[in-house]
């Protein structure tokens, strides 16, 4: 049985995103970064990134990552049925990236997202912006910008619903009532991530399933743990987005 209730309303989420934009502007200014490339992680991270992108007045188009095939638990949980292509509109080499996601829990989704980014190129730096942070970290990953902090009871989870309006819900979810790939932070199955090593940088990764399967199996054999590490959410089932 699923029992979720509203934790942050649409107005509260909008206020938090406004505060994130202010924090992010301060962080970028302190690092003398004037042309960041913003990249959102499907799905909730993309929804949040779109709003931050508008608030900061960034001129370059926003990138999107779908990281399912790059998760280190890919061979255990399989892929989400709604795999979406990754799209990085410009080369990432020597660029300052702002990576955006909705909920940071274990750190495994962010780790997978960094693997995707580094398959496209070598960024100069990566700033991590998260709408909601919570406990449950399994990897040494922390965000540079956090809009909200959640203190949850054991067994509670957070999910972002959207894309219009954006609200955050919290509560308990029976894992047996949701297939792998649903958008709850306790179920890290969802993001579908494609990050081909040898595609042009501006091209969407429409054939990423083949590349991603190869990459995932390499991870299962212990061959693919050479990239930087980051965040773990479960999400991307359409109208909701979970945590990582």
Nearest CA among 169, 242, 241 for reference residue 6: 169
Return the number of other C-beta atoms located less than 10 Å from residue 156's C-beta. Answer: 18
Selection from 160, 210, 208 nearest residue 51 by Cα: 160
Q: pLDDT at position 70, please?
A: 73
DSSP 103-137: EESSSHHHHHHHHHHHHH---SEEEEEEEEE-S--
Of 47, 190, 175, 166, the C-alpha closest to 113 is 190
The CATH T-level fold of domain 2-241 is: Rossmann fold (3.40.50)
| 75-107 pLDDT, tens digit each | 554 555 456 678 899 999 999 999 999 999 999
The larger pLDDT score, comparing residue 89 to residue 224, is at 89
Span 127-158, pLDDT tens digits: 999 999 998 899 999 999 999 999 888 888 99
Domain spans, the chain: 2-241
**Three-state DSSP class for residue 20:** helix
Rounded to an integer, the average pLDDT of 232-241 is: 44
Q: What would the two tokens of residue 12 be?
A: 């509260």
Q: How many CB atoms lie within 10 A of CB 76?
A: 11
Q: Which whole-number Å values give the CA distances from 32 to 35, 54, 107, 125, in the listed order? A: 9, 20, 27, 12
For residue 69, give both structure tokens.
């095939």
Q: How far apart are CA 100 and CA 98, in angstroms?
A: 6
């Amino acid at each position: 049985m699923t029992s979720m209730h509203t934790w942050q309303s649409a107005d509260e989420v909008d206020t938090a995103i406004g505060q994130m934009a202010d924090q992010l502007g301060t962080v970028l200014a302190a690092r003398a970064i004037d042309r960041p490339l913003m990249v959102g992680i499907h799905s909730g991270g993309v929804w949040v990134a779109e709003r931050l992108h508008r608030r900061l007045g960034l001129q370059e188009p926003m990138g999107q990552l779908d990281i399912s095939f790059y998760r280190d638990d890919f061979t255990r949980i399989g892929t989400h049925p709604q795999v979406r292509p990754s799209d990085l509109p410009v080369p990432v080499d020597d660029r300052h990236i702002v990576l955006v996601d909705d909920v940071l829990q274990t750190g495994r989704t962010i780790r997978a997202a960094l693997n995707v980014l580094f398959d496209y190129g070598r960024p100069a730096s990566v700033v991590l912006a998260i709408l909601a942070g919570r406990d449950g970290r399994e990897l040494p990953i922390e965000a540079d910008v956090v809009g909200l902090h959640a203190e949850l009871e054991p067994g509670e989870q957070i999910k972002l619903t959207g894309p219009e309006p954006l609200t955050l819900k919290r509560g308990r979810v029976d894992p047996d009532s949701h297939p792998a790939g649903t958008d709850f932070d306790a179920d890290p199955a969802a993001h579908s991530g494609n990050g081909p090593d040898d595609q042009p940088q501006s091209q969407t990764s429409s054939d990423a399933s083949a590349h991603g399967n190869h990459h995932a199996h390499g991870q299962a054999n212990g061959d693919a743990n050479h990239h930087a590490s980051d965040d773990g959410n479960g999400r991307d089932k359409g109208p909701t987005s979970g945590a990582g």
